[in-house]
Each structure stands twice: as C-alpha cells, then as structure tokens.
Structure 1
Amino acid sequence: MSISTLVRNFPHSRRLTRDEAADLVRTDDIGSLLGAAARRRDAAHGRTLSYSRKVFIPLTQLCRDVCHYCTFAHPPREGEKAYLSIEQMVAIAQAGKKAGCKEALFTLGDKPELRYRLAREELDRLGHPTTLSYLAAAASAVHREAGLLPHLNPGLMTGADIDALRKVSVSQGIMLESVSERLAEKGGAHHGSPDKAPAARLETMRLAGERNVPFTSGILIGIGETRQERIDSLLALRDLNDSYRHIQEIIIQNFRPKPGTRMENAAAPDVDDHLWTIAVARLIFEPSMNIQAPPNLSPGALGRLVAAGINDWGGVSPVTPDHVNPEAPWPHLRVLEAATKAAGMDLTERLAIYPAFARDANRWLDQGLRTTVLHGIDGDGMPRVDDWCPGHVGELPARELEWIGKAGVVRRSADPGRVLAKAQRGDGLDESEIAGLFRARGDDFTAVCRAADELRREMNGDVVSYVVTRNINYTNICSFKCRFCAFSKGKMSENLRGRPYDLDMREVADRVIEAWQRGASEVCMQGGIHPSYTGQKYLDICRTVKDAVPQIHMHAFSPLEIYQGAQTLGIPVTDFLCELKAAGLNTLPGTAAEILDDEVRVVLCADKIRTQQWLDVMRAAHSVGFRSTATIMFGHIENYRHWARHLLRVRNLQSETGGFTEFVPLPFVHMEAPIYLKGRARPGPTFREAILMHAVARLALNPVIPNIQASWVKLGAEGVRHCLSAGVNDLGGTLMDESISRSAGASHGQEMTPQEMEQIIVSTGRIPRQRTTLYGDADAGIRQRSFDSAAARMSVDGHRERVHLAAHS
C-alpha cells in the first residue's frame, strides 16, 4: 500500500505503527496527511478547540543550562533579584484572577542554584534549600490567595520532588524537545545543557507517571533534528503514555530564531514543516490525545494549524506576556476566537488540568486541590464560566441565553447533526451519542435545543401543562445517610436546616383537607425513612389521605419507600404494591433515582437501593397498574456517561412497561448538601447543562415518554421559561409546601400560584393547561377553586403588607 493510500484511508480505531510513521518521512502528499489528521481529530474532539486562560509567573530566569536558542534564561543581572518574591507572584495571580484567568503557569530555569552563587544565597535568605522547594511554597500561596490552579514547568525532578509538587499543582510539564543525542554535541542546540539529556527527561516523565501526575510534554522542531528524530521523539512519548496514561497533551512547538542567541541566524521551520509534524503527531497518538500548537508562534497561519489536526491552543494570557517568547505577543482572545470560528471550530475554555483528568480527580489530584477543581468544573470537566447554580436567585448567563434564543440558520457540526436526525426519527441513541449531545456548545447547543423543541411541538403542540398539588413531607427523620441530602435529619440532629419532625396522622389529614379546599387535585407525599416506620405506616398514610378526601389523587412513595416497606412486612414488593393500591394509593413519584448507575450510587447514597432494585420496583409497580414519573438528580459527582446510562435505563424500562408518565430532571442544589460542604461535589449543573438535560431527555426518550417537565423550584421562573424553548411541555406542580429543595439551600419560593404558572406559560406564547396527575384536563370546579383560593390569599397578603408599611412609615 502506498503512503498516500494509507493516509487517505487511515482508520480512527488504530494508531500508526513505527514503520508506518517512519514511512511518512518521505511523503509528499501533505494534503492527504492533513485531511487524515483533521478527520481523526474531529472523530474524538468534534468541533471544539480549547485553550486555558492563564497568567505566566516567571519564578526565576536563572538556569544552569545554556540552550542556544533561549532568551528566557539569562545570567544574574546587577540590581536584579534571582527570584520573584511570593508577594509579587501572588499579585500577578490576583491580577489574572480579575481578568478571568484560572491557571497560574510557573516558568523557571532548571536548578540555577547549582550554577550561581546568587541563587544559593537568595534561597538561603528565603529559607529554602532548592528552587523546587521555593516553587512549592509559591504555588501553594498562589492557590491559597488567588484561587488559581498551578501548572508547573520545573525541569528535571526526582520522585521526591514530584511528590512535593503534586501537593500544590494540578499538573506539571517538561518538554522532551527531542530524543536526538546529537543535539547535545558541540555545535548542537543543547550543548552545555545537562538537563536537556533525553534519557533524563524521559525518566522524570516516567516518575510522574508512576505518581499519577497529569503531565504536559512535546517536541521543539527546527533546532537541528531530522524528521525521523521527531517521529522517534513522539513514539518515545507514546510509549510512556501507554504505560501510565498520564500525558494530557503533546505540544508541537516551532523554533523561532531570536536575536542575541547563538542560533539567531538559524532557519526557522516553514509552515508546511510545522503542519507535517502536527499531522504526524495526530496519527501517532490515540485520537483522544490533545495536540497543541502555540498560536503566538504562527501568526497568520492559525487556520492552517487547525487544518493539521490540533485541538488546543495551549495557554493564552490576557495579562502577562509569553516570557519564553516575549517577541511573540499573544493574540487577543477575540482575535483567536474569530480565527477559530473561521476555521470551522468553536473556541472553548479549559482548565490547566484537562477534562478527562478533572473528571477522575480522585486519581489525578492531591486531596488539597480536588475541592477547588470540583467546584470549578461542569460534568465534563470543563470550567464553569459563570456563577449560576440551581436554586440561586440572580441573572441567568447571557451567553447561554443567546444560544437558546438564536435566530436564523445555525452551523451545526456533522456528528451532532447525524445524532439529532436519528433521535428525531425515534431511533434509540447509544451511550456515546447521548453523552456527545451533552457536550454541545455554541451552534450545536442551539441545534440540540431546536431539535428537542421541534419534537415537543410534534408531540404536544403548544400546550404547556401544570398540576395544582400539595407536597406533604410527613417526616424528615431518616435512617439513611445519603450524602447529597440536606432535608433528612437524624433523630435529634439540628446541624442542618430545620428541626426533626414526624407528623401525626391528624396533621396529615388536615393538610390534605386544606389542599383540597385550595384547589389541589393531588397530594404528593414523600418523607425520610424513619427508623420506626414499617410498611404498615405507609398503608396507614394512604388510608388517612383517602378518609380525609376520597376524591384527591394520592401520588406517593418513592421506590425506596416501597422497597423498605415490603422488607419490613416480609412480603414481596408486588404484594405490598397491591396492598397500597387497595388502601388508596394512585401513582408513584419516580424519585430516589438520583443517578441510575451504581458507579455513582456507591459514593452518593451507599446504603440506598441499587440501580437494579429501583428498576425492579418500578417494573413491579407498572405491572400491577400503577403509573409513575421518572426523575434524575444531576450535577454533583457524576459525568455525562452516567447521564446517558440513566436515560437509556429509563427508556428501556419504558419500552417494556409503558408506565412512566413524564421525565423530570432535578438539578442538584448544593448549598447545604453535606457532600458539597465537605468539598466532594460540584455546585450543581451549569445553566447550559440544565437546559441540555431537558432537551437531550426529549431526544433520547423520543417517542416513548411524551412529557418532559422542568422544576421551577430548582430553576426559578426565568429558568423554566427558557426550558420551554428546549423541549419542555410541563411545569410540574404548584406545590403549596416544598421542603426538600429549600432545605438544600434553594432560594426560590415554596409555592407558585396557578396565576403565576400561567403567566410564565403565556409569556412564551404557549397555551396553559391545568391538568390532573395522569395528564387529563383538571375538573373545571377544581380549577376555579385553585384560582379563587390563590387570589384570596394574594389579597390578604397585600393587605398585610400595606398595614405593615403604614405602621412603619
């Protein structure tokens, strides 16, 4: 097979062999090579091109090496300190923080104390034995004082050095540059630079791999190496990564001659040579590898770099220069975004630690840094770029609102386009396809929302429904230890919101009667798993409700309560469900689902029912004639794969039983949640993710579940208003009382009147419909009662407010 044929038909499922890579040295079909690299990049990374917004902190510019192309390192200068003070470095970081930076990149020369007395003396005064010891102190201070995530380029390290620096950094890096030993010979670029010995640099990287340190490396081209030596260098890095999977990114950096260096008259590699190297790197490594080229070193050629297969621009600073290449200023982020867009890609910010590593923080990060990262990422490991969170009262993120409401033609990428067409046909999506939809940004985000809304219109028209209901949480005492729950209390615990309580049956009956009088057609009943409760207690609750108001619809008991009740009575779940039905239970809420994947449940709610048990209870409930909702609680410790698995499990059960009436996304409210307060969870989904959960659910569950509901308690009135443009056709219940989200810290009200609910719906051009639990039209008399009751209470509240104001005027 010819090289051109190999490249044109190269599969995404494998990498170049050593012999195939070597053969590329002599290829002259650059077009085919670039095309293959770009297709491989697109298959793994889609249309996203990332960058990190960072500050550069030059801890010291002294170095024991004398690389003949470098202007960063220099000998001591009169009147100039060898090291920046920690105060100076913190000030740089704080300026970066104000400019939106999230990364602090520490650059420094290699072990200057081994060459310069000035360095040794300053380190003595600073109280540090080595430059790396001082680096650890500086990184710790920057993280503590400015909140930036340190990325360190420390040079050669021992295992002990790496261990110490791992505690204060999210990632480390060292450029291999080249495996060519020739470059260290007299006249070579690395002559007189002991720290550039290839074996020593590879050993540092190996030690980092052993210690689970996310690592950056790459090659520097045009310093005297051959193309074969470039390939050898890339293969050496690939071998290391095959052993430890710790290399986050490969940088393909082009040499630029600098005045005042020994190589100032050397020829820089031309653009085609740079493109050839990028493309070869893309084909040598697995498709998921991040391949980077610095944008400031190739002005005027950014689009061509994209075409060669890069998926990352590296660090770009809005406040500090590239101290290694000061003659090459960073492109303004607006310029970089425009160039990226012109190349058919979307510019997306990332952290110093790449998403795949951030998603597995327990493996890749020291405990002291995990909380900062978890609090700063979304479910895919990408940075949160606004301060919105579920339950928060404040402005919605402008960028996402622009995407949702974007008019006109959108330029969606090919892969989401294919998946959206498949979903709209009603064909089931697979896990990777669903997870991919959750990554949609920019025009792809708009396309996902539009596709979901088109399905909503086809299935439900322009009618948006809601139900007048009252929540009755009959106890908040619970023997389970779910790590997300701020509602349930131990028997005498008062460390979270509210006192423990256990309603007596008279109080339950009174609340049911009041709900009916106020126009509720449903009571929704859930509580903690009280240690003294048995299945008999749930039967008693049913009878109490129905004795109080026989006509009211009783929507009660999660699969966890059903499972626990059956266990305490020593009877099968199906038998217990039949008893509940006979006692008056009408439908079941599909709560206690959280994330239907045991990988998550074992951490989030270890003593709760497992995924299969939840599904089995629902299957049994549907088999005896119950209908139920299905829910997901998202935005804590899980990722997009888990969301996809949850949706697939719900879809599969619905295809089997047809028992789910609606799907209800419940964004995690973090403020008082124990797992968040202990630094082990994210602060809920981002607004983009919250909108997408509704849209993707509509697509992934098409056509088996017709109704997608949005929670105004979690999202607020404005949030659910925008969900109505992303596939939602139902706004849930007016509630009257709502304790669970409020206990977790949500700021939205405990009740929404029918008037307010319909105002939201009408404001979006939709038609409101008050419904029953099973999606029939609400009885006209009940509907009128719900409006009259709300109006009367609003009148009384207004009178009280006027009296209060008059008394204090």
Structure 2
Amino acid sequence: MMKAAMSSPVSQILKKIEYSADAAQPRLNQKELAYELEAVQDWRALSDLASAWRDIGWGNNVSYSRKVFIPLTHLCRDVCHYCTFAKAPRVVGPAFLTVEQALEIARAGAAAGCREALFTLGDRPEARYAAAREALQQLGHASTASYVAEVAQRVRAETGLLPHFNMGVLSAAEYQALRPHAPSFGIMLETASERLSERGGPHYGSPDKHPAVRLETMRLAGEAHIPITSGILIGIGETRRERLESLFALRDLHDRYGHLQEVIVQNFRAKAGTKMVNAPEPSMDELCWTTAAARLILGSAMSIQVPPNLFEGDLTDLIRAGINDWGGVSPITPDHVNPEAPWPHLERLSDVTARGGKVLVERLTVYPQYIDARDQWVDPGLHRDLLLHSDCGGLARTDGKWIAGSSTATDISSLQMQTTIPNADSISPQTIDIVNKCLSGDRLEEADLVHLFKVRGNDFAYVTQTANRLRQETNGDNITYVVNRNINYTNVCQYHCNFCAFSKGRVEESLREKPYIVELDEIRRRVREAWDRGATEVCLQGGIHPDYTGHTYLDICSAAKTECPDIHIHAFSPLEIMHGAQSLGRTVKAFLSDLKKAGLSTLPGTAAEILDDEVRRQICPDKLNTQEWLTVIRTAHELGLRTTATIMFGHVESYRHWAQHILKLIELQRNTRGLTEFVPLPFVHEEAPLFRRNRSHQGPTLREAVLMHTVGRLAFHGLIDNIQTSWVKMGEQGSQLCLQAGVNDLGGTLMNESISRAAGAAHGQELPPAAMAALAAGLGRTAVQRTTLYGRVSIERQQAAQAALPLTPVKYVKAGRLVRGEGHQVLRTVASS
C-alpha cells in the first residue's frame, strides 16, 4: 500500500506504472512513464512499489559474494577524471602481479572462505604503455587478456576460487579465449550519455568509456553467451534523464540476449589527486531515488546491487529502495577502486540486512539462473567447480560439511532449528500466502513450491514449524517404523544410470561390491530369518539383470511368500515391473495381476528419481521416462496395490524440477489415493559415476534436505499423511532434524541395506528397534513399530523384533549367465564367457 502522505501527482504516476505492469514479473514498460519519475523528489514515494517488485523476484533474501580482489595491473589506457585505480608505470613499479603474487592473494582468500577471485585491471594497458608490452613479453604473453587467462587458470586449479573478470572492453575473440576461465565477467556501462565523453567531461580522453564502445562490448558478451555484471555510475555530471536512458540501454541489451545478471547502481566518490576532487558527490537520497527507479525500469527479475561500503547512511534505506544484492564483500582485501571506503564486516551486514527485514545469503560470482542453465551459459570446464560450490538453488553451499550419508556427528551444527513459529510480522507475505494455500488444499503452482524451497531465516522457521504442527495434528507424536529386510537380489543391471553406484555390469569390479546374484534358496533363508527377527515386511529390489524375465520376479515373489505366508511382500520398482512385463509380452496390468497372485502386496515407488524428462536424459537416459513411471504406479493403484512415492534429489536438477516432481505426485494422488507415503532420498554422491565425472552436486545441503521433507508435508496435506525420512541417507541426527520439521516416519530397520552404502553412505545395514526408540526418545517422542500400510503390529512381532539375534552372514553367488529349470526357477549360475 502506498504511503498516505504521497502527493497526488506521484500517486497517479505509480498507479499508471502498476496498471501497465505484468503481475508475474512486473516492470515499467513505457519510457514516457519512467521519465515522469524525474519529478519525484522523495525516493520514499517510490519505495513501496520498488520493494514489492523486488520481493516478487527475490523473496526475503539479499545476497552477497564472498570474494578476494586480485589487482593484476593498475595500468590503463583510459584517463577517467575521477579514478585513482589507474596509475602510471612510474608509480606502480612492476606492471603486473606475478602468478605467484596472485596465487598468494587467492590462497588467503580461500583460507578465509572466499569463493570468488575478482580480477580487477585497467583497459588494455599494452595499447598505451611500453612498460606493459615489455612486461607481457617477459611473461610470455602478447596481451593482457592472454596473461589473465593463465593466472585465472592457476588460481582456479590451485585454490578452487571462481574467477570473475573486470577487464573493460574486449573483442569477440578475447571473450571466446577467456570464457573457459571464468563463469562471469563485468563491465560497467557507467553512462549511456555521449555528452560525458566530450571535452570537459569525465570520460574525455578515455576511448574505452565511450557508450557505444561499452554497449558493443556487452553485445559481444551476449553473443558469446557470457553472464555479465554491468551498471551505472551516478554523480559524474549526468542528469536524471540520462540515468534513466542508461538503464533502458542496459535493459534493451538484456531483452535481446538475457545475459545481464545484475545491474550495479554506484555513486561517485570524489578522490584526492583526481580532476574531480572538488566535484559534488550525489546525496544518499539521490542514490536511493536512482536505485528505486532502476528497480521499476529493470523489473522484479533483475538483480540490483548497491555497494554497501560507498553508502553513507542507514543501509536499510537501500533495502527499502529495492536492492536485492550487496555485491562482492571481501574479508581480507580492500576495494581497490575505492580504497578509502572499507568493507562492512559481514556480521554487521547480516545484522543490517535482518534489520531491513531480509536474510543475508551468500551467492557465487555467477547467478543461480545461469548455473541452472549452465550448458548454455558456462563453459563445460567450469561446471565441476560451480557444482561443488553451489546448492541446488544456485546459491553458495553454506551448510558446513554435512553431506548425505555422512556419519560425522557434528555435521548438523550448521543448521539451527527453531522450534517455535516466528511472529507473522517477520515473515514474508508471499511465504504465508503459499503455506495457507497448502493448509486449505488449494491448487499449487510451480512457483509456489520453488519459493518454499528458497526460504531461509524466519521464513525457514515458519515453514518447518508449521509443517511440524501439521504433522502433530495428522499423526500425533509417535514416530513410526517398520521392521523389515532389504533383499537386493542382484546388483547386475543392463541400464546405465549415471547416479547409481550399486548396479554393476557382469564383470565390473571397480567399486565397492563385485557383481552378484542371490539364488532362491538364499532368498528363502533371508525371508525366514527376517521373520524370526520380528520383521513384518521384506523389500525386494535389484538391478535389471539381462537374463531376468518376468518369470524371475514371479519366482522371487512366490519363493518369499511360500517361505513365510504372513510376511508382507513390498517389491519391485516400476522399472522392474515394466521390464518383467515386456520380457513376457504382457501388459503392465496383466503382469502386476500375476505378481499380486504370487504374493506381491505393495510396490516401492522407487526409480522415480526426478519426474522430469529433461533431468532424466542426464541421469538415466535409457531408463523408463516420467510418463511410464506414472503409468506403472497408476496401474498398480487401479489393481489395489498401494505404493510409496520417492524423489532422489541433489544431483543435477534445480528447485523447479523438484516442484514439477511434487506436482505430478499430487495430481496422481488426487486421482488414485494409492500413495502411502512420500520418501525424500538425498543423493549420496561419493561413489556415484555422475559425481566422479564432475557432473553433479555433492548432494543437497542440509537445509535443502530438511526442506524437502517439510515441503512434502505441506504440499501433500490432505493427500498423503505419512512423510518418511531415510536414516540411511540423512543419518540419525539429520533424521532428528527432519522429525522436527514435519516427518512422522523413520522407514524400515532394513537389515542389509546395500544400495546407499554402495554409493558411499556410512550408515546402513540395520537400525534395530532399540536404536529407533533411542532416536525418538532424544526428541521426547515414542517410536512405534508399524506394518507396511501403517497398521498395528502384534505383540508377538514386537517381542520377536526386540529379542532378535544377530544376522547370519549373507551369501552371494558371483554373477554369470542364469540357467533355468522346470517352472522357470533359478537352479544355478554358470560363469560368463
């Protein structure tokens, strides 16, 4: 709502702006309206609209990049009349830093937790100074750009820092040569006014500062698909109209190429020793006016930054004016362009951001949308480093050392779980609206779920604790689990899923386990032992052995059910169902009916990974597609076979893919009501081929893993009552966090879990009832044994589980060709030829 004291003419301007803007991604579309803003004297009249539009695009987060400055050279062929960065050779001494000097700075930055190495240097010094040319020759390079490439490559290889180049004007060939060494570049437009390059202007004598030259350089970056940072410099003699025209020039470029990742609004600071030492500096109110105008012109989706070290006033004013980013902040090096203005300490910046009603978050040098679309925007050689540094939302990975499958007891310390719901005044209205949609059962959109996956700070506490309250209302305070046994009857698989370290080829022995099969007699023995140890369920899954047919799955199911008629057979992923049906020339429905007659009770909803074919083409290109997975599950439900639903997340996908996956499950459940539980499975990366080939994240962050469970509770409210956490992947402490954020179930005791352990998880094998009880007691809750379908378990089964003897060592047979006898049962294997 606009301020009551606003003058009528300004109110009319803002109403026209709002009316003409698109609601989803609003921005000021007409230049004539923008020019009317010139008459607005008080920037606060624009702040409500600017803030609202910022919130649409960026929510409650205000970002910064933790970086180190590497001033590779202070030489520059330009003579901007306000600049103290550029110096003559007689002043700077050696023309360039050596590689070792640059590495020394980078190492210090890496040790201080920096992720970005900002290379600052002047425009083409070799075009003006013989000293630069001679120095480059001695370094073995013909140009500054060539030397920058060498130094950046060494910095990235030896410290892991991501380079960002502020090199000024570059040619198309230079962009192509430098693109493999930095995921993002920067070049300030400063102004689109040619007047300021004329005699007496601040850019007179600076050929690289001519607006046409700068804009052409930015155009070339767009042609090269390079994300760039640009911006305007205010207070150097330009008019308000010229600032607005500069912002429109930047917007026009971005509309054409989509490569402008952020726009900086920077205020001129008068510096001793320059021609403009006595020039008046712009007021902080004028800076806020320009910032608000930039937000309205560039819209909700553009990142707008104002450097905090150049602002002399209350930094929360900049938040009110519409910024979403503080830019790069270095804990160890000064701002070499503005050395008189020290960086604010990050603790102070965090406090200021919180006082402005926002959460300070760390980003990388390249923005999330470009990491998400990295195949288009970032050189493939840089993908590994981007994925290692970033979470699945494209921001910096800041959850300490926690990784899925880790057993380190202190891993969860990075995430502070608040156990009460914060005051509504401290939560973004958008978050409250989306949560209310979940609670009322309204239809959710992709953007709603993406927003929930992004929440931090008080918004994070609000959604996790609302989900936990919902869990208590739906399930009470008991924590349920099932005593079961996993029987992975073969790890041989004819598919080549890039995330899987469990499945093997017939002769592959490079990872944790050799190729094996489990024969029927051993399956029977394991089923009987599980029953004797109190199990009510056996979970049967395996790789797709090339010799397996639908008869194999029928035999396995029959053997288990015959051995223990009362045990629940929870078996066969949708991939196994489809393979079995196709191998026999049967429909999925007919084959599922056969399995049901053989004793199948329910299906695990595994092999879902991410229900998005864009992702599946990267992680499991030869596996069943999204529609095929949904068809198998839907058909099972039609036959009265209930299933679980899983998501395997934290590899190559982004939040929008998570959202699409959940929306597909919501639609399925609305139609069938056959899903018993939602089971998030964080990607365990250590031995996964995808990670070993430098093509994936190292799993989700702890915050993301907890949020997947929380969002599941909220999104499936009224549709799926049970949200399960995988203690194998989350660990016991991570599972406790999830149990405080909407989860009611710990899954199975497992007995012989092997799939996650093959991928590198330290947990697994078994978490017996006593350990389940201890885990629940640590939260002041009670662990209760359940059946697969969440029914009550007999006292006899509970007592058997509590008194279980140690497991007998399992038996495997080295994989080979299968030989079948009468009735299709596996009699033995013979060695592969």
2:11 to 4, 13, 30: 4
Which of 765, 782, 785 does residue 797 from structure 2 map onto? 782
**3-state secondary structure, aligned to 1:581:** helix
Are 1:534 and 2:549 an aligned pair?
yes
SS in 1 for 2:570: strand
Aligned to 1:678: 693
Once residues 22 and 6 of structure 1 are traced to their aligned partners in structure 2, the CA distance between those partners, rounded to angstroms, is 10
Inter-partner Cα distance in structure 1 for 2:650 and 2:736: 20
Distance, in Å, in 1 between the alignment partners of 2:770 and 2:204 is: 79
Deviation at 1:26, TM superposition (A): 2.1
The residue that corresponds to 1:124 in the other structure is 137
Q: Find the residue that maps to 2:623 and give its secondary structure.
A: coil
CA drift at 1:283: 0.9
Alignment counterpart, residue 208 of structure 1, candidates 216, 221, 238: 221
Superposed, 1:179-198 pairs within 5 Å as 179-198=192-211
Taking only the aligned residue pairs, the percentage that are identical comes to 55
Deviation, 1:24, is 1.6
1:627 aligns with 2:627: no
Mapping 1:253-402, distance limit 5 Å:
253-385=266-398, 386-396=400-410, 400-402=414-416
Q: Which residue of 2 aligns with 1:474?
A: 489
Q: Which residue pairs with 1:34 in the alignment?
A: 47
**For residues 759 and 294 of structure 1, what CA distance do their matches in structure 2 show?**
50
Q: C-alpha deviations, 1:362-389, integer Å up to 9, x for none?
A: 1111111110001211111011112211
Q: Within 5 A, what are the aligned runs for 1:51-70?
A: 51-70=64-83
Instruction: Tell me, yes or no, if structure 1 residue 403 matches structure 2 residue 410.
Output: no
**1:646 and 2:653 correspond:** no
Task: Give how far 1:406 is off.
Answer: 6.0
2:503 corresponds in structure 1 to: 488
Q: Which residue of 2 aligns with 1:807?
A: none
The residue number in structure 2 matching 1:799 is none
SS in 2 for 1:403: coil
2:819 aligned residue? none
Corresponding residue to 2:27 among 15, 21, 33:
15
Deviations 1:678-734 (A, max 9, x none): 011111100000100001000000011000000000011111111110111000000
Structure 2: how far apart are the matches of 1:758 and 1:613?
39
Does residue 234 in structure 1 map to residue 247 in structure 2? yes
Greater mean alpha carbon deviation, residues 424-433 or residues 723-732: 424-433
CA distance in 1, matches of 2:181, 2:754: 40
| Alpha-carbon distance, 1:649 to partner | 1.1
1:592 aligns with 2:607: yes
Contact 2:183–2:365 at 8 Å: present in 1 too? yes
Could you give the per-residue CA deviations for residues 532-575 of structure 1, whole angstroms, max 9, x where no partner exists? Answer: 11111111111111121111111000111111111111111111
- SS of 1:402 mapped into structure 2: coil
Q: How does 1:485-634 map to 2 (within 5 A)?
A: 485-634=500-649
CA contact (8 A) 1:8 1:33 kept: no
Q: Secondary structure at the match of 2:391?
A: coil
Task: Please tell me whether the aligned partners of residues 412 and 702 of structure 2 are also in contact (alpha carbons under 8 angstroms).
Answer: no
CA distance in 2: counterparts of 1:714 and 1:75, whole angstroms: 58
1:81-160 matches, within 5 Å, as 81-160=94-173
Structure 1 residue 440 and structure 2 residue 455: aligned? yes
Question: 2: CA distance between counterparts of 1:430 and 1:161?
Answer: 43
Does the 8 Å CA contact 1:404/1:722 hold for their aligned counterparts? no
TM-score of the pair, normalised by structure 2 = 0.93
Cα drift, residue 596 of structure 1: 0.9
Aligned equivalents of 2:787, 2:619: Cα separation in 1: 33
- Matches of 1:400 and 1:134 in 2, distance apart? 39
Post-superposition offset of 1:425:
2.5
Q: Matches of 2:548 and 2:433 in 1, distance apart?
A: 51
Q: CA deviation at 1:397?
A: 5.0
What is the letter of the counterpart of residue 397 of structure 2? R
Distance between the aligned counterparts of 1:289 and 1:593, measured in 2? 34
Residues 206, 32 of structure 1: alpha-carbon distance in 2 compared, 3 angstrom cutoff: same
What is the SS of the residue equivalent to 1:380? Answer: coil
Normalising by structure 1, we get a TM-score of 0.96
Unpaired stretches in structure 1, ≥5 consecutive residues: 795-809
Hey, what's the Cα distance between the residues in 2 that align with 1:15 and 1:710? 42
Relative to 1, partners in 2 of residues 1:319 and 1:125: Cα closer, same or farther, differing over 3 Å? Answer: same
- Residue 27 of structure 1: CA displacement? 2.6
Identify which of 162, 165, 186 aligns with 2:175.
162
Residue in structure 2 matched with residue 425 of structure 1 by the alignment:
440
Deviation per residue, 1:494-527 (Å, 9 max, x gap): 1222111111111111111111111111100000
- Whole-angstrom CA distance in 1 between matches of 2:573 and 2:726: 18
Q: How does 1:704-743 map to 2 (within 5 A)?
A: 704-743=719-758
Residue 683 of structure 1: SS of its match in structure 2? coil
* 1:51–1:479 CA distance, 2 compared to 1 (3 A): same
Give the 3 Å change call, closer, same or farther, for CA 176–596 of structure 1 in structure 2. Answer: same
Task: Count how many residue pairs are aligned between Structure 1 and Structure 2.
Answer: 793
Describe the shift of the 1:234–1:408 C-alpha distance in structure 2 as closer, same or farther (beyond 3 A): closer
RMSD over equivalenced CA pairs, Å: 1.5
Superposition deviation, residue 651 in structure 1: 1.3
C-alpha distance in 2, partners of 1:151/1:556?
51
Q: Secondary structure at the match of 1:465?
A: strand
Contact 2:421 2:465 in 1 (8 A): no
2:5 aligned partner? none
Q: Which amino acid aligns with 1:403?
A: M
Unaligned runs of 5+ in 2: 1-7, 809-833
**TM-aligned CA deviation for residue 395 of structure 1:** 4.1
CA distance in 1, matches of 2:415, 2:395: 19
